[in-house]
Structure 1
Amino acid sequence: MRIVDEEILQDFLVEADELLVQLDEQLISLEAAPDDGELLNAIFRGFHTIKGGAGFLGVNSLVSVCHLAENVFDRIRNQQLAYDAQVADTILKAFDVIRAMISALQQGERELQDAPSEVLKALESIYRGELVAESATDEALEDVEAETDDLIAVASPPLALPDDVDPDGDMTDEEFEALLAQRDALTQSPLAEPVVELELPDGVDPDGEITDEEFEALLAQRDEKIAAPEPTKPKSAVSTASAAKVTDVKPKPVEVPAAKPVAVKPTATTTSPAAAQPAAAPESTVRVDTKRLDEIMNLVGELVLVRNRLLTIRSHDGGVEALANAVSNLDHVTTDLQNAVMKTRMQPVKKVFGRFPRVVRDLARKLGKHIDLELRGEETDLDKNLVEALSDPLVHLVRNSVDHGIELPDERIKNGKDKTGKIILAAEQEGDHILLSILDDGKGMDPDLLRRKAVEKGLMDELAAQQLDDRQAYMLIMAAGFSTAEKVSDISGRGVGMDVVKNMITKLNGSIEIDSKYGEGTRILIRVPLTLAILPTLMVSFDGDSYAVPLTSVQEIFDYNADNVNFIDNRKMVRLRDKSVPLLFLSNWLKPDQAISDFKGYKVVIVSFGSQRVGMVVEQVNGQEEVVIKPLGVKLSNLRGYAGATITGNGNIALILDVPGVVERFQ
């Protein structure tokens, strides 16, 4: 596929990517409702639409696998074939191949090898109704996932341009038609669709532009003639390829009704997801280059800094009414503009959630478990960068719930539970934060076992372990090298991963909490800001310099009182509601050579991250302020304790403190 209009290709890839997200959910939902005609039709149309676009672009290897998958679903929706577990496994493997091909095209590859022969043979066997030994099929498909990583190879026959034609320049319609004819001659196969002649309505110029309705009518006419070719000759005939050459007119994306995946294991009582809700209304969306959005966001950030400066001027010159009014107007406009631009960066959390039905389904089958997955709050919006950053941590946490949380069916029945476990993945907005939760009704965690394991692994001594309350004990699973698994598997047990999850959430200025009840289940709660571009902070100062503390970490503020401070293990602690909280004196860090003995008038800012709480002793608290995060630069990027810098309302530079990094420097 060397010669292609890049603009058309990019349009195809955007549409194909959206269809893949829908198909991923719908294929899993179909296992819970294999007789849902509406859902079957939606899946059939999804494969058909991808095949049509790939065929026009000449991606024949993609056409082949989509065509076979489409044929299988045609038989299923006509009740000639049952969608059982074996068929589902094969279709999902084929779907992985299609996704890998689309991904390769998105990454700039233009020559793809054929789909793995094992997948094509399995699809053909299912379509023909042949009985395939399940064990043999499984073994054959085991290597498909690895093969899809090597899809970049020569598959489509090279097309020869005339000697006098520049391959990088514009080409005429005649040259384009000649290439299409050459491609058709080189790619004759039983999988290729027959080229049929289509009849245009009277009054339509076959060489001119056609409307969307006329193009849709041509597609419908083509499908009818392929199914039952008519002997009569059309008045004015054009081929599908000829109709499609009008690049200004592209077919509308097929609106596929979104089916909410609620079940990973089929159950008799599960209702049809597609029937449970109406088809989604067409979205009015505009695709914008993210680089342009980043530039706009940066400009808005500068505007916010100007607003902060003017607000500061107004507070020092309250008598100038005109200036006060102007600043107030600027404040409103800037806030509205900031919110509007932030919304352009927002994406539904469904972008993250959409992959989990497949993850849970495959892992549950591998482990022999029955699991229902319920997704809640999929339409909750958050920053695009957060959507991408949260994907891997959430996958790890969900896999842990499947592997460690949900018990095997026999064990659940023995403990008086339903044999089918349940995992709930939910999202909701709380102020300027997003709450993500993973809840399972599995075996839960034993805090006493976690304390013993921490001592055995040398993470702490026995006295320190016994002083941990249950919530602190649950957070031990986030420690590096900590694991309760009796044996190592390819899924878990190595003691790596959970500490990485914690670090990634912390880098997003978020927090993670764990609550569990032994024998009943576990709930993991993640709190992250709506956006990473603008950060609400508490401004503090020491020795005339300003510092910003992320507001998400701040719990409370009170005056420093030496009478409430005592020493425990050579560390200064403050008593706060019957609990001792360690104190961190910023003066010891920022001015180590300047000994301060009297902290009268200082403030204690209680901050938390994870299950830890510390009191930061600062000279002054200056109030809240939204700041624009600026990176420190390459030379200072590894400096612990700082998350970046910003410009404050009075025009000075303030460093943004990274709370976990600050605590680490003190320890």
Structure 2
Amino acid sequence: MAFDADDEILQDFLVEAGEILEKLSEQLVDLEQHPDDSDLLNAIFRGFHTVKGGAGFLQLDALVNCCHSAENVFDILRNHKRAVDSELMDVVLEALDHVNAMFEQVRNREELTPAPDELIAALDALALPQVAGEPVSNQSVDVPAAPESDQDGGDITDEEFEQLLDALHGDAPVTGASDSSAPDQSPANSSGSADEITDDEFEALLDELHGKGKFAAKPPADDAQTTGGAGPEKGGDGELITDDEFEKLLDELHGKGGSPTTGGSGPAPAKSPQPKAEPAKVVPEKAPASKPAPPREPAPVAETTVRVDTKRLDDIMNMVGELVLVRNRLQRLGSDSEDEHMHKAVSSLDVVTTDLQAAVMQTRMQPIKKVFGRFPRVVRDLARGMKKEVNLVMIGEDTDLDKNLVEALSDPLVHLVRNSVDHGIETPDVREKAGKPRQGTVTLSAEQEGDHILLSIDDDGAGMDPEVLRRKAVEKGIYDQDAADRLTDTECFNLIFAAGFSTKEQISDVSGRGVGMDVVKTKINQLNGQLSIVSALGKGSRIIIKVPLTLAIMPTLMIKLGDQSFALPLVNVVEIFHLNLTRTNVVDGRECIVVRDKVFPLFHIKRWLVKGSNAVTGPESGHVVIVAMGTSKVGFVVDQLVGQEEVVIKPLGRGLQGTPGMAGATITGDGRIALIIDVPSLLQHYS
């Protein structure tokens, strides 16, 4: 193992191999659904081959051996010597698991744990043809290409080049295309020193493939009658060939026409050049001397990307956050000023700050495909273990969101997808009896809606029965019978997020302990997100997650309780109105209000958050903010509404960390400190 190698080389390997291994898991599951997809087989072969090459350079022998055995399997598969089946995929996926484990050990600079000998032996067995003597469907016979030649851009080996020269020269001596004084080269000499081919020999080779005179420079008009064919005397860059022409040459060797010695459809003639051949006449053109083709635009040499440490991006984002606070402060000061120039300067600063904020946020964005990419394997393994047939459909994989959210959403989404396969999708026989296709479908989708991301997990399974959920809630002591009977269907569905709640009668290694969905709810709440459920018995269920695009800068509704400012995350705010507080009702001992025939619990949060505000009687009227927590909604009574403001979340000091109902603090436009309310935590602690 060569961890003492250049750290930059190791980092390059970790980046490149990490991206390849992320794709391989999804590609392998896709291959099981489309076993005859040649492009997919070649892509998987290249993936293992590339990881093997990088690991070999770093002398990671255990990783090389596992990748090499897997690569051999796909070499057999892509040559149609073996068919793809579930048993083969089980072995290959197990090999990929060991490759991923070793890759993580490389990342952590740990000693590699080799794949088991039994697994390597199983891979080697699968790398043999399925039926002995089965005909191989190879198009080229005379010049066999190496397994990776088609994928590596057409590189040819020295041995193949010698074969090509032997085929062209035959037993006849070779002379220059136009220079009769060039020294003859015998076949033995040509093949023995293939690395040192002369310019004349190479021109003869090109003439055999493309015809004489193709690469000759156009002669000047006045010398057109006296100058012969394409010899060494041609001036300028006439001896050079373009990249396109060289690619065409390689196509002749490996592509459609096979080698020049075969009777393929390529343009190469079978006749070898004669020693005393006359120079080819070049027909003059009525044009000034010029090169045979306009010069190609040079490829850009400068790198278009640069690798940046994520910590540096976090630091830049923090500085942009501070700039946003200064912008808010100047806007407040500018509104109190009558100076027109001040207003223009503040307005310009606002535009620049907004654009800079958006640009920096964009650098932190990652496609949610980084999360979605792991689910084909999760669903495949889970469905195979439970004897179910499940098809996973993914929509909106290119939707971008903050990298911190991408990482934070990974575990909650895994729980939800596993829950859909386990609880939602029925077994094939049950589905068939219900008139459904034997194969169930789980749809995972993502889309951007304003400054939020909507994620949904749909299944066409059995759905949820509200009556069963009510009965379970009573059995577990979450509600008494009367309260459970008053629950709406939506409130019943949300019971699955209660800690320890499960409808499974039998505990398995997948579910049944009531652990998982409560973790999902807690995590989504920490992300200032919302969860909602829609379900129809016998038709399926949908779980919808709404999370902000970023956690760094948060739009809030600024409110006042007495003289103290607080910030309510705007994602939680549903509605605001003014209310006569004397017209409230009491239900189950809790003060409620009725708005458009809907009942909302009412809370005077000033009594919770402001010292000395515990009086039972309050004002006769006040502002009510309806906030959402998951799928439930409550009303908060506040003294004053300040307005909407973007704030930067600052962590609370050591003495205030863990304060119930507080997510952090920020600095308002007037320079004061405002606490940011964590709505779920606030209600859980005080109500």
User: What is the TM-score when the length of structure 1 is the normalising length?
Assistant: 0.78
Which among 413, 420, 428 is matched to residue 409 of structure 1? 428
SS across alignment from 1:378: coil
Are 1:572 and 2:508 matched, yes or no?
Answer: no
In 2, distance between residues paired with 1:334 and 1:479? 43
Residue 356 of structure 1 deviates from its aligned partner by 0.2
Alpha-carbon deviation of 1:113?
Answer: 3.2
Q: How does 1:199-348 map to 2 (within 5 A)?
A: 221=157, 232=192, 235=195, 285-317=305-337, 319-348=338-367
Q: Could you tell me which of 498, 501, 506 is aligned with 2:525?
A: 506
What corresponds to 2:114 in structure 1?
114
Question: Aligned-pair distance for 1:52?
Answer: 0.7
| Relative contact order higher in (CA < 8 Å, ≥ 6 apart) | 1
State the distance in 2 between where 1:434 and 1:284 align: 29
Shift of 1:235: 3.1
The separation in 1 between residues aligned to 2:617 and 2:336, in whole angstroms, is 34
Report the Cα offset of residue 407 of structure 1.
Answer: 0.4
Whole-angstrom CA distance in 1 between matches of 2:446 and 2:158: 44
* Counterpart among 610, 618, 625 of residue 630 in structure 2: 610
User: Deviations 1:185-238 (Å, cap 9, x if unpaired)?
Assistant: xxxxxxxxxxxxxxxxxxxxxxxxxxxxxx97796538979x99x98565379x
Report the CA distance between 1:560 and its aligned residue: 2.8
2:683 corresponds to: 663
Aligned to 1:473: 492
Of residues 389, 395, 403 in structure 2, which corresponds to 1:376?
A: 395
Q: Which of these residues, 459, 463, 472, is aligned with residue 440 of structure 1?
A: 459
Q: Is the Cα contact below 8 Å between 1:538 and 1:622 reproduced in 2?
A: yes
1:627 equivalent to 2:587? Answer: no
Output the CA distance in 1 between the equivalents of 2:112 and 2:383: 32
2 CA distance for matches of 1:314 and 1:322?
10
- 1:106-185 matches, within 5 Å, as 106-109=107-110, 111-129=111-129
Deviates more, 1:573-582 or 1:434-443: 573-582
How far does the alpha carbon of each residue in 1:623-654 deviate from its partner, in whole angstroms, 9 at most, with x for none? 10110000113432211100000001111100
Q: Does 1:35 pair with 2:36?
A: yes
Secondary structure, in 3 states, of the residue corresponding to 2:571? helix
* Partner of residue 173, structure 2: none
Query: What is the Cα deviation at residue 610 of structure 1?
Result: 1.1
CA deviation profile, 1:265-317 (whole Å, cap 9, x unmatched): xxxxxxxxxxxxxxxxxx96543210000000000000000100011011111
Paired residues of 2:581 and 2:621 also in contact (CA < 8 A): no
Aligned twin of 2:252:
none
In 1, the alpha carbon distance for the partners of 2:315 and 2:327 equals 19
1:233/1:402 Cα in 2 relative to 1: closer, same or farther (>3 Å)? farther
8 Å contact kept, 2:530–2:545? yes
* C-alpha deviation, 1:666, in angstroms: 2.1
Does the aligned pair in 2 maintain the 1:607–1:613 contact within 8 Å? yes
Q: Closer, same or farther in 2 for the Cα pair 1:656/1:223, shift >3 Å?
A: farther
CA contact (8 A) 1:538 1:548 kept: yes
Separation in 2 of the partners of 1:224 and 1:447?
Answer: 72
Letter of the aligned partner of 2:659 in structure 1? L
**Paired residue secondary structure (1:475):** helix
Render the CA deviation track for 1:82-137: whole Å, top value 9, x for unaligned.
1111111101011111111111111222x313221121011011113479xxxxxx
- Given residue 346 of structure 1, which amino acid in structure 2 is its aligned partner? M
> What residue identity is the alignment partner of 1:304?
V
TM-aligned CA deviation for residue 568 of structure 1: 2.2
Partners of 2:533 and 2:57 in 1: CA distance: 51
CA contact 1:546–1:655 (8 Å) conserved in 2: yes
Contact 2:581 2:622 in 1 (8 A): no
Q: Which secondary structure does the structure 2 equivalent of 1:651 belong to?
A: coil
Distance 1:512 1:218 in 2: 53
Residue matched to 2:665? 645
User: In structure 1, what is the equivalent of residue 46 of structure 2?
Assistant: 45
Q: Structure 1, residues 599-628: CA drift from partner, whole Å, max 9, x if none?
A: 245211110111221111110011101100
Match of 2:605 among 583, 586, 592: 586
User: Structure 1's 591 and 299: CA in aligned 2 closer, same or farther, altered over 3 A?
Assistant: closer
Give the SS at the match of 1:567.
Answer: strand
Instruction: Tell me the equivalent position of 1:203.
Output: none
- Matched residue type, 1:32: Q
**Aligned-partner SS, 1:363:** helix
In the alignment, what sits opposite 1:275? none
How much does 1:582 deviate? Answer: 1.2
8 Å contact from structure 1 (residues 564, 575) kept in 2: no
Q: What amino acid does structure 2 have at the position aligned with 1:464?
A: A
8 Å CA contact 2:81, 2:130 repeated in 1: no
> What amino acid sits opposite 1:611 in the alignment?
T
Cα distance change, pair 82–217 in 1 and its aligned pair in 2 (3 A): closer
Q: Which has the larger radius of gyration?
A: 2
Q: Does 1:419 align with 2:438?
A: yes
Find the residue that maps to 1:82 and give its secondary structure. coil
Superposition RMSD on alpha carbons, in Å? 2.3
Secondary structure of the residue aligned to 2:195 is coil
Whether the 8 Å CA contact 1:560–1:599 is kept in 2: the answer is no
Deviation at 1:477, TM superposition (A): 0.3
TM-score normalised according to structure 2 size: 0.75
Q: CA deviation at 1:31?
A: 0.7
Looking at structure 2, the residues matched to 432 and 223 of structure 1 have their Cα atoms a distance apart, in angstroms, of 60
Which residue of structure 1 lines up, in the alignment, with residue 102 of structure 2? 101
Deviation by residue 1:486-507 (Cα, 9 ceiling, x = unmatched): 1000000001111110000000
Q: What residue is the counterpart of 1:484 in the other structure?
A: 503
**Distance of aligned partners of 1:381 and 1:217 in 2 relative to their CA distance in 1, 3 Å threshold:** closer
1:528 matches 2:464: no
How far is the alpha carbon of 1:567 from its aligned partner?
2.0
Q: Is the Cα contact below 8 Å between 1:601 and 1:619 reproduced in 2?
A: no
Whole-Å Cα distance in 1 between the matches of residues 591 and 36 of structure 2? Answer: 67
| Distance change (3 Å), C-alpha of 1:316 and 1:220 | farther
- How many percent of aligned residue pairs carry the same amino acid? 57
